[in-house]
Amino acid sequence: MSSWPRIESLVLLDKHLYEPAVTFRELFAAISPCPHLHALRVSMTAANIDIDPKAASFQHPSLHTLNLGASFIRDAEAVALTISPILPHVSQATYEEHEGNSFRLEWGEVNDHLKL
């Protein structure tokens, strides 16, 4: 844990994990002690938003590259509105296709909202 403040890139991706359990709240808590983190790839769920980004006082200073695994999305606009205030330098979120399941349309919509 003492080296976390110096981490610049982190990959916690399991392509075989169908339903990841990491949520937005847990993700943001995990990266908060990493002020130099600029690239993150993590298996997480973006289907259930468990944080109010308007109430969150945390804003990550350096993250630019975000890959959220093969997460299913229920509401692309809500995902973008969760990401943008906390990760203001992320203008595009990428994803992993999961064995024939493509989330290209959902993530494309998230990215359209992030660009705005």
Buried b (16+ CB within 10 A) or exposed e, 77-115: eebbbbbbebbeebeebebeebeeeebeebbebbbebbe
* pLDDT confidence of residue 2: 66
- Digit-coded pLDDT (tens) for 37-88: 999 999 888 888 999 988 888 899 999 999 988 787 889 999 999 999 999 9
pLDDT at 7: 92
* pTM for this predicted structure: 0.86
CA atoms within 13 A on the CB side of 57: 0
- Average pLDDT over the chain, rounded to whole? 86
The predicted pLDDT at position 64 comes to 96
d(CA 112, CA 4): 31
